[in-house]
């Protein structure tokens, strides 16, 4: 079946997702303070291509042109994030009026194009000033976050009705506070446990505050979710996959549904429960979100590995298994997204689901003014089929946001990993719509 926009219904939201740190640049412009990524990128070897997010795609100055591109491709929702350090350069205290004014101009421009603004409160760019005080591991984190979130709701709540609290909390807590691969580069469970707990409290506090503040709002949060499959049918591999699934997919979702921390066998989860006294915070971690944002890029295969501390497992890569994968090794498996959607829906207490990010990175080449990214077109086509199948089977799906509009600063991979529907020459900032962008334009007609 050749899918088209109308198959998903008139109320289905079609959008594009972006993030401040990855696009805005202008990192020292108009009073903006430093973020943890500005600092992290200066450390030798932390960014694969040695680059920095200082200029990124210069969205701060080019937002009107980029919004026109999104509109021209047929999208009706534009997701962006607030840069905390542009609003509050020190994380707390004095408000930066220029930063506040920028986001008013951005939202006004989105609305003038008859598009829907969708705002993310926190997309991984903590102010460096707060990190110096402990960041997400600090007992003051909820106080800092709640003040920031309340300011945004009060300032922009009349014009923005679609909100997301956190972007992929498992991502920034594990990569940034346990494995050290992302900013701020901390390692160990002594950092991970409090970061997880504080993020869970902020997620619920922020969601509940938004629901009480935004009239006629649609309030959600986002989870990075990947189906986890055992490498073999052995009990050891099956148990390893269950442990990884609890970590990747259940750790932040289930507390938000009022279930508390995942109750899984293993010293890792027992230590987390004991350290964070999760049983005392079950009610505090709950939020009756209007929708759950699923961000799905790949499936994961796990095997037992007794040499890995605490979780005793390791990933078996898509390349090693010789299955289809993207440029950066992420497994391409649309059926796994379908199963993730169905699984979240089967929790029963989930009101609705939105795919708030989905996309792929390939070795795009600009040749004679054209980027023929046929692999990306096939990727989107397959994943939309999976989305449609879930919708046909009764899942209340609100919308789908493609990641992302333009190539950008892709965290620790720098500028070499290109996910955009629009190619960017980072020296000249020249934009060129890829064939996948034109494919979306035709799909959304």
Catalytic residue set: 168, 357
Largest separation between any pair of C-alpha atoms in the chain? 61
**Angle between helices 59-72 and 97-112 in degrees, nearest 10:** 10
Sheet containing strand 313-315, edge to edge, reads: 228-230, 300-304, 313-315
Tell me how far apart the alpha carbons of residues 164 and 51 are, in angstroms, rounded to a whole number: 29
Dihedral of the alpha carbons of 113, 116, 119, 123, in degrees to the nearest 10? -80
CB 216, CB 228: distance < 8 Å? no
At 268, phi and psi to the nearest 5? -60, -50
**Residue 158, helix vs strand vs coil:** coil
At 190, phi and psi to the nearest 5? -65, -25
Sign of the CA dihedral with 126 first, then 127, 131, and 133 last: negative
Q: Are β-strands 218-224 and 291-295 bridged in parallel, bridged antiparallel, or unpaired? A: parallel
Q: Could you tell me the CA-to-CA distances from 345 to 51, 262, 280, 385 in Å, in that order?
A: 40, 17, 27, 18
Sign of the CA dihedral with 332 first, then 338, 341, and 347 last: negative
At 294, phi and psi to the nearest 5? -100, 130
Strand partners, 114: none
Tell me how far apart the alpha carbons of residues 286 and 203 are, in angstroms, rounded to a whole number: 9
Residue keyed to tokens 């004991």: 274
Q: Which helix (H) or strand (E) holds 389?
A: helix 374-392
């Amino acid at each position: 079946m050749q899918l088209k926009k109308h198959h998903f219904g008139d109320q289905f939201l079609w959008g594009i997702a972006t993030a401040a740190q990855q696009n805005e640049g202008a990192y020292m412009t108009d009073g903006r303070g430093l973020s943890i990524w500005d600092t992290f990128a200066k450390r030798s070897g932390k960014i694969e291509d040695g680059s920095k997010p200082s200029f990124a795609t210069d969205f701060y100055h080019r937002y009107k042109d980029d919004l026109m591109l999104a509109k021209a491709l047929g999208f009706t929702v534009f997701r962006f994030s607030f840069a905390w350090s542009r609003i509050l350069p020190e994380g707390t205290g004095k408000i930066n009026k220029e930063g506040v004014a920028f986001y008013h101009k951005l939202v006004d421009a989105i609305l003038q194009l008859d598009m829907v603004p969708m705002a993310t409160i926190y997309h991984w760019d903590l102010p460096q000033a707060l990190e110096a005080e402990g960041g997400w591991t600090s007992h003051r984190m909820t106080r800092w976050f709640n003040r920031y979130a309340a300011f945004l709701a009060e300032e922009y709540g009349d014009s923005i009705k679609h909100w997301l609290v956190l972007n992929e909390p498992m991502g920034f807590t594990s990569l940034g506070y346990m494995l050290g691969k992302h900013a701020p580069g901390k390692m160990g469970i002594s950092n991970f446990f409090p970061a997880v707990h504080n993020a869970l409290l902020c997620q619920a506090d922020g969601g509940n505050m938004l629901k009480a503040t935004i009239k006629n709002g649609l309030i959600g949060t986002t989870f990075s979710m990947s189906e986890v499959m055992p490498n073999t049918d052995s009990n050891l591999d099956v148990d390893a996959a269950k442990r990884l699934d609890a970590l990747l997919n259940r750790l932040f979702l289930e507390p938000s549904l009022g279930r508390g921390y995942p109750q899984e066998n293993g010293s890792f989860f027992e230590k987390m429960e004991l350290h964070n006294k999760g049983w005392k915070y079950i009610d505090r971690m709950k939020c009756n979100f209007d929708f759950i944002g699923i961000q799905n890029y790949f499936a994961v295969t796990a095997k037992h590995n007794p040499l890995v501390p605490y979780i005793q497992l390791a990933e078996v890569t898509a390349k090693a298994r010789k299955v289809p994968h993207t440029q950066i090794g992420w497994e391409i498996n649309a059926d796994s997204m379908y199963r993730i959607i169905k699984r979240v829906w089967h929790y029963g207490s989930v009101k609705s689901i939105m795919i708030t990010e989905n996309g792929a990175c390939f070795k795009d080449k600009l040749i004679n003014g054209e980027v023929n990214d046929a692999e990306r077109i096939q990727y989107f086509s397959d994943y939309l089929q999976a989305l449609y199948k879930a919708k046909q089977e009764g899942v209340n799906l609100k919308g789908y946001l493609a990641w992302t509009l333009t190539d950008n600063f892709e965290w620790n991979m720098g500028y070499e990993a290109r996910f955009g529907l629009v190619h960017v020459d980072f020296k000249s900032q020249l934009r060129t719509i890829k064939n996948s962008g034109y494919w979306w334009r035709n799909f959304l007609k």
